[in-house]
Amino acid sequence: MITQNIDGLHQKAGSKNVIELHGSVYRNFCMSCRKKYGLDHIESSAGMPRCDCGAVIKPDVVLYGEQLDDGIIGNAVNHLSRGDLLIVGGTSLGVYPAAGLCRYFNGMIILINKSATYLDDRADMLIRENIGEVFEKITV
């Protein structure tokens, strides 16, 4: 699973191997001493979350204008280039960098999106519905 989400929903749904392109709000760190904190510490903080050393605690997410981690991008490209099936859902093809990573994939593509995307012509299966409604219909 490659995601731009920072909310950990894929892990909560049971996904074990998740590449988080933009990080996660469940991991936080002190910008000075690098001490790690969980989301519970952030939620219980009054005002700006601060470390024991007094510095600001930042979520381990890529903020607008920050560069993505090259190692994480490389990991995503590695998995994409070796895959057989790619399911792209929701608005993923409208948001970069994930939208650009599809060029590294050469297998079968299933695209679930309500509106047209640049990848429509490459899709082996195109589903023009709400992704949540599509997944509700799937039984295993």
- Number of C-beta neighbours around residue 48 at 10 A: 7
- 22 is known as an active-site residue: yes
The token pair at 31 is: 């910008």
Q: Are 63 and 23 in contact (CB under 8 A)?
A: no
- Number of C-beta neighbours around residue 38 at 10 A: 11
Catalytic residue among 10, 22, 41, 79: 22
Quote helix, strand, coil % in the chain, to nearest 5: 30, 25, 45
Q: Which residues pair with 70 in a beta bridge?
A: none
Instruction: Choose among 57, 53, 51, 8: nearest CA to 29.
Output: 57
Enzyme catalytic residues = 22
